Amino acid sequence: MQEALTIISRILEASWTLLLDSSPFMLAGFFVAGLLKAFMPDDFIGTHLGGNGLGSILKASAIGVPIPLCSCGVLPAAAGLKKQGAGKGAIASFLISTPETGVDSVAISWALLDPVMTAVRPVAGFLTAVAAGIAVSFSEKIGTSEAVAARSPAPEARSSCASSCCCGHKPPAKKGAVDKLKAGLDFAFGDLLKDVGGWFFFGVLLAGGISAMVSPQIIERYLSNEYFSMLLMLAVSVPLYVCATASTPIAAAFALKGISPGAALVFLLAGPATNAASLAVIARLLGRKATAVYLTAIIIMSFVIGISVNALYARLGLDIRHWIGHASHEEAGPIAIVSTIALVALVLKSSLPTRKTGGSVSGNVQAPGNL
């Protein structure tokens, strides 16, 4: 009994340390997410992603990088793009780059990983999205006329839900800057935090468990081979539901124990972009053949980029553990403590049931059949 209490205490202590390290950056990331939501026009994405050419794929990949939507929240946004006439290649790119990266996950990468991984992560997400979009687009050109029908938007499908998880049924009224900012922050610290917050705490607890239970000797004995460790990360991350923000502390815990940076990046790329639940919905959006191409492209690109990142760290003579270890041993100041308390309070507040005042309220995808 005493041993079990000791283990639980070590897990909670490690989790609390991670939470202190990441909370200020989490709040900053959600604030920027609110600014994006407030001042990015609702129809900006839809008007740039029509067709199935390379230009629309590049735009979809680039536009998705800063947008902070999880792998479930991006699904209704992608459905909106399809209704607006976006090609399957562009939709596939958007489905990958959006959940793999975001301003919130970049901020927490800086807090828990190192500058190199922080810079590489969005670039890797962009390249993976482009490669998958091209592969899906190419596969659709081989003996299918379905893409032509997909590019013919229905007249009533011009209203966009591309920049959030929510779709309204009434045309938005014009708002001033203050109203836009308030709405954006309400979205970021309401709907978005509700989608991400619980999973982030789950990721922090899991990372605490890894820190407390997994020894460097286990990593060295079983996961020292970079190729095997990347394959294992793929096997774990592809079916698992974990958003980009929640995947970061888990990857940091593995990296601190000695797993290669490339294997950590594989988890960061494949985890948020795929999970067993979302793949069923993606199959409805893209078709089964395109979904198979989509998943294959993610796996291949994650593996190739993981190998490249290991080579980059070796060439630069860097050890990701030194940066993570230094950051985790710094004394938490009052800003970290206040930020942690604020983050916990905001997540709890966002999880409380809200009173519906009429109209439609939508969150994550509830009915795949409506896609």
- Among 50, 106, 96, CA closest to 75: 96
Residue 371 counted as domain residue: no
| pLDDT number for residue 302 | 93
pLDDT tens, per residue, the chain with 371 residues: 777 788 888 888 878 877 887 788 778 777 877 776 787 666 666 666 666 678 888 988 888 888 777 766 677 677 767 776 778 888 899 889 888 888 878 888 888 888 899 999 999 999 999 999 999 988 877 645 444 444 444 433 333 344 444 444 455 556 778 888 888 888 878 877 787 777 778 777 877 777 677 766 777 677 778 888 898 888 888 877 777 777 888 888 888 888 889 999 999 998 888 877 678 778 888 888 999 999 999 999 999 999 999 999 999 888 877 766 555 545 557 888 898 899 889 888 877 776 654 444 334 444 333 44
Residue 178 counted as domain residue: no
Beta bridge partners of 51: 86
Q: d(Cα 118, Cα 105) in Å, to the nearest integer?
A: 9
Rg (CA), the chain: 21
Query: DSSP string of 49-71?
Result: -BBSSHHHHHHHHHHHTT----T
Full domain range(s) for residue 32: 8-164+183-351
Answer yes or no: are the C-beta atoms of 71 and 278 closer than 8 Å.
Answer: yes
Residue 214 counted as domain residue: yes
Residue found by looking up tokens 């379905």 in the block = 146
Residue 62 counted as domain residue: yes
As for how many domains the chain has, the answer is 1
Residue 96 counted as domain residue: yes
Residue 363 counted as domain residue: no
The number of beta carbons lying within 10 Å of the beta carbon of residue 277 is 16
The number of beta carbons lying within 10 Å of the beta carbon of residue 184 is 22
Residue 212 counted as domain residue: yes
Residue 360 counted as domain residue: no
| pLDDT number for residue 123 | 94
